Amino acid sequence: MRKTLVSGILVCMAAALAPAQQAHIKIDTDRTIGEVDPLIFGNFAEHLGRCIYGGLYEPGSPLADAEGYRKDVMEAIHGLGVTMLRWPGGNFASGYNWKDGIGPKKDRPVRPEGAWGSLEPNQFGTDEFLKYCERVGVTPYVCINAGLGTVEEARQWVEYTNESRDTYWAQQRRKNGRQEPYKVKYWGLGNEIDGPWQLGHKSAEDYVKFALEAAKAMRRADDSIKLIASGSSNFRPGSNWIQWNQTVLEGLKSEIDYISLHTYIGNSKNNLEQFLAASQDIDQRIAVVEGLIRAAQASMERPRPIYIAYDEWNVWYRARGESEFETGKTRLEEIYNFEDALAMGMFLNSFIRHANVVKMANLAQVVNVIAPIFTNEKGLFLQPIYFPLAEYAKQRGNVAIDALIVSPTYRVGAREPIPYLDSSVTLDKKGGYLYVNVLNKSEKLDIAARIENITGTLGASIDVWQMDYPDLKATHTFGADKKVRPSTKTIVGSGNKLNYTFPKHSLTILRAKVS
């Protein structure tokens, strides 16, 4: 029987398993990958469309509190299990002057912004964002302007948010009503600077020169901060994304804590299995960047730990203008369906399988704009993608387990075979629970699997969470968001083995007590 290693998962060729369509998931809890970092359940709020204004923030609305924050959205974010919020962009960050968004609101300028072709009223700025993070209980992640901005503006921003002494920008913060520092820990050194669509687009060499000086200046304002370099987001034909990341890592390896990756996928060809085959790209990009990190650190006697921040990811392909960045036309209000919910499991399984190096991830975005939450002036509804995100978030802090997955496979083009069962496994050591996350990518095949825990027994009662809906294109809307929702049940386990059939095009999470 020929076997192929795909991103650390052992997969049997489909020909060897057909026609029975059987699978095997073999778990050894001693084979750990790393902690499932809570920050992989982060999100993103950009000044784009109705994400901020009309989403997070809507002063005067009966649904908002005294500070203008939408209470229903805050409740939905809490239910989503969000751990981190990235702001203010995104493309918006590359033209944003943070000083426009502080001080008395009546004095803040209205400016045209060059990323999305709209007017920015600057009513939601640094203080509003950081207070929002405190209210919702999430970690803030601020992205500096590495496009049209300056090193000094970046340094001053850190001083404004984090300085405790009696300095000029700390005084300005106090004048604006905040006595104590916000202590913002995570700072992005720009967004997608490799992309020619970006304001202030730079070559890798020019970006490194800027980012190195910005990092130096920002750390002198607060040496406890963590910095995220702008990794490649340009995977278009003719681009050399590997070379960009290699240059950035070589130039910034002594200063950065993370390098970013961005991936958006879509099902424009209306082919579910091809759509979910994007897992190959996600796994490959993570593996390549992990190798580049190791290569950059190879000559260092005491290398600084560097991880991957997958700080933009989602399904996005319907809500675009004629051109992706055509100003004034795109508002990115994607309406998600059941097959998009399945893709959430695909992304998160990959992040968990690479838990040793993927230590941050941010779904783009949190509300209205390619988002799991959708509002109008009267309320909101939860899109189908909301539910997998919320359920996976319960595994934060668990240990990722390197499980052996033997599954029927399929091919897309000439690439390596892809397992129909896309899986990840985590262990909650404190609670003693094992989680088996399984996405069945097959459009037509139910797949029976034998699940075996070779390092202990499974509890007699096993919880099953499952999204299994016959209509792949089913969506939600206002007043009708109960249709594409998960079901739960309990099944009986016995010893260290369990047989379970994963329905076609379904996402399942099994939770079992282990001893």
Active site residues: 192, 312
Q: Which sign, positive or negative, has the C-alpha torsion 485, 489, 494, 496?
A: positive
What does residue 431 show for φ and ψ, rounded to 5 degrees? -85, -20
- Put the strands of the sheet holding 487-492 in their side by side order: 32-35, 399-401, 421-428, 433-440, 506-514, 458-468, 487-492
CA-to-CA distance for 418 and 402, rounded, in angstroms?
Answer: 18
CA-to-CA distance for 157 and 138, rounded, in angstroms?
Answer: 20
Give the number of C-alpha atoms closer than 13 A to the C-alpha of residue 305, restricted to the C-beta side. 7
What does residue 409 show for φ and ψ, rounded to 5 degrees? -130, 170
The H-or-E segment that residue 139 falls in is strand 139-143
Query: How many angstroms separate the first and last alpha carbons of the chain?
Result: 33
The H-or-E segment that residue 427 falls in is strand 421-428
Alpha helices in 11-125 (DSSP H): 14-17, 71-80
Residue reference for tokens 């006697």: 301
E-strand ranges in 163-302 read: 186-189, 226-229, 258-265
CA-to-CA distance for 11 and 418, rounded, in angstroms?
Answer: 8
Residue 2 burial class via C-beta count within 10 angstroms: exposed 0-12, middle 13-18, buried 19 and up? exposed
CA nearest to 53, candidates 103, 142, 113: 113
